[in-house]
Amino acid sequence: MLAVPLTGYLHRMAGGHPVSFFGLGNLPVLIGKDEPLRLLTDTLHVSLVWVLCILVVGHLGAALKHQFIDRDGLIRRMLRA
């Protein structure tokens, strides 16, 4: 989860673009324009986003399985905590 924004940040810097922090201001530029690094971080960023999406969907699927197939009360126990 930390690698996704980090690779996005590196990608923007390596492309020579400023990085805005939610419109509040720009983050510091730590590296110069670097095309090979930009391409690498683009691939890493997109791949990590897909992995994160797959993990979220898998986690949701597992929770639904516990709720509707196993009927073991797992979600109810989690909500009480």
Predicted confidence (pLDDT) per residue in 26-63, tens digit: 999 999 999 999 999 999 999 999 999 999 999 999 99
Other beta carbons within 10 angstroms of residue 59's beta carbon come to 10
Collapsing DSSP to helix, strand or coil, 20 comes out as: strand
Please say if the pLDDT value at position 80 is more than 90. Answer: no
CA diameter of the chain: 55
Prediction pTM value: 0.84
